[in-house]
Amino acid sequence: MLFRHTTNKVADRKALNVNPAKTCQPIGAMYAALGIHGCLPHSHGSQGCCAYHRSTLTRHYKEPVMAGTSSFTEGASVFGGQANLVQAIDNIFTIYDPVVVAVHTTCLSETIGDDITQITAKAKESGKIPEGRYVFHASTPSYVGSHVTGFSSMTKAMVDHFAEKSGKKRRQVNIIPGYVEPSDMEEIKRIAKLMKVPCVVFPDTSNVLNGPQTGKYEMFPRGGVTIEELKTTGDSLGTLGLGKLASGPAARALDTKCKVACQVLDLPIGLKATDRFVDALRNMAGVNVSDDINIERGKLLDVITDMHQYFFGKKVALIGDPDQLISLTEFLVSVDMWPIHIVTGTPGKKFEKRIREITEDIPVPVNVKAGGDMFMWHQWIKNDPVDLMMGNTYVKYISRDEDIPFVRFGFPILDRIGHSYFPTVGYRGGLRILEKILDVLLDRQDRDSPEESFELVM
């Protein structure tokens, strides 16, 4: 057994996290920063942080992930990291020539209290930031929140630093897509295009972290929101923030800073959440929904009606990030599946309440926990087994031990491809999720059914 020491005896733990269902802020900040065109993320801390984040993002995307580090030593930790950051900025612009450097802090630089605004000003004063180039930062202490908080903080920092209000409105909508895959950001742009809504999507990691093989390496690939586009977000008709945790703060910051009205929606994962997204986008931009979208929606509905017998009453255990889990739970409930064990590692009070509301009609007990860990989730599964598990790659250890079908969903996915190319948002994304679920459930039925009832047509 891979998790041979995990028993079904659930004991309350106050201090020990076993098998985390979250990671720390800076990696989310690094990921968000890669969604700006020509941006080099920079980790202000020990070089190990940067190495770990780059490694994890690289394993997840199978793409280059470049970022600088201030490489703190013991001396820098005592005397402050100003000299390191100023030197890093100088070296980065001299050697790599990015348009923008997005600095995020770490537990180290936060604990010693480095003032990044002041250090950046110092770098600017001493001529280390070339004309027309930018350095901005987000505060992302690893001991607060999770990787989602870090993504959220970096996205908000884009607004704080770049959004401008010229006084002249533009016929465009800001869409903050949330902590989703490059493929999802691409899909959101495709839907907006189908609806003929000009939009600025930020951050936008499509064509950055799912780029083509051309035989020529470009450190700054063609994707990403440009600084010029970011500046115009203050003149947009409105902002749609997708995912309360990841996109809410940036959407609200645009409202506060530039008086751009915002709506914060759930991530458009599944039928109902996508309906709300399309409807909100239609209203905000004042357009009609094209028939192309209706057809896509109809196809998703069609699969649900065709295959409902395989969804109905199936127990599911979910683990991952709050924004994703809220929409995914709603989606599964909408096809009459029963998500019964739902855990996120990210702390937050509203999550549990929201999941309770979504799952209130499920006729069996539902366990939900924010700030939980995968060990506890596994124990819940031991006590009340499920038909399906959804979560990141680490869930495969439980899947093998418990012999339960498993669909990879969330971050990180280290052992399969697909997530960076094929979306899970929108109606087409919903279709992909259902296809994946059906594949594992029906494979299991094929594997386990007695020979006499082995089905040809399913």
Sorted by sequence, the CB contacts under 8 Å of residue 75 that are 6+ apart come out as none
Transcribe 133-176 into DSSP letters. -EEEEE---TTSS-HHHHHHHHHHHHHHHH----SS--S-EEEE
Phi, psi at 341, each rounded to 5° = -125, 110
- For residue 112, count other CB atoms closer than 10 A to its CB: 15
Compute the least distance from the CB of residue 120 to other proteins, in Å: 14
Compute the least distance from the CB of residue 46 to other proteins, in Å: 3
Q: Of 90 and 384, which has the nearer Cβ to other proteins?
A: 90
Q: Of 145 and 178, which has the nearer Cβ to other proteins?
A: 145
Compute the least distance from the CB of residue 374 to other proteins, in Å: 9
Q: Of 290 and 393, which has the nearer Cβ to other proteins?
A: 393
Q: Of 368 and 398, which has the nearer Cβ to other proteins?
A: 398
Structure-token pair, residue 24: 């720390």
Fill in the DSSP letter of residue 289.
P
**Cα separation of 386 and 117, whole Å?**
50
Residue labelled with tokens 């986008």: 281
Q: Of 55 and 118, which has the nearer Cβ to other proteins?
A: 55
**Contact by Cβ (8 Å): 339, 316:** yes
**Contact by Cβ (8 Å): 29, 158:** no
Q: List Cα–Cα distances, 397 to 143, 190, 378, 408, in angstroms.
A: 27, 36, 10, 12
Q: Of 217 and 365, which has the nearer Cβ to other proteins?
A: 217
Compute the least distance from the CB of residue 47 to other proteins, in Å: 5
Strand partners, 319: 343
Q: Of 62 and 169, which has the nearer Cβ to other proteins?
A: 62
Compute the least distance from the CB of residue 219 to other proteins, in Å: 8
Task: Render the burial of 240-274: b for 16+ CB within 10 Å, e for the rest.
Answer: bbbbbbbbbbbbbbbeeebebebbbbbbbbbbbbb
Q: Of 68 and 268, which has the nearer Cβ to other proteins?
A: 68
Size of the chain, expressed as the number of residues it contains: 458
- For the chain, the first-to-last Cα distance in angstroms comes to 33
Transcribe 342-373 into DSSP letters. EEESS--HHHHHHHHHHTTT-SS--EEEES-B
**Cα separation of 405 and 444, whole Å?**
7
What is the H or E stretch that residue 50 is in? helix 47-61
Compute the least distance from the CB of residue 425 to other proteins, in Å: 25
Compute the least distance from the CB of residue 420 to other proteins, in Å: 12
What is the H or E stretch that residue 48 is in? helix 47-61
Q: Of 174 and 392, which has the nearer Cβ to other proteins?
A: 392
**Contact by Cβ (8 Å): 101, 135:** yes
**Cα separation of 215 and 424, whole Å?**
29
Compute the least distance from the CB of residue 92 to other proteins, in Å: 5
Listed residue (268, 407, 428, 403) closest to 337, CA to CA: 407
Compute the least distance from the CB of residue 248 to other proteins, in Å: 20
Compute the least distance from the CB of residue 237 to other proteins, in Å: 38
Q: Of 218 and 455, which has the nearer Cβ to other proteins?
A: 218
**Cα separation of 402 and 135, whole Å?**
49
Q: Of 89 and 317, which has the nearer Cβ to other proteins?
A: 89
Compute the least distance from the CB of residue 253 to other proteins, in Å: 22
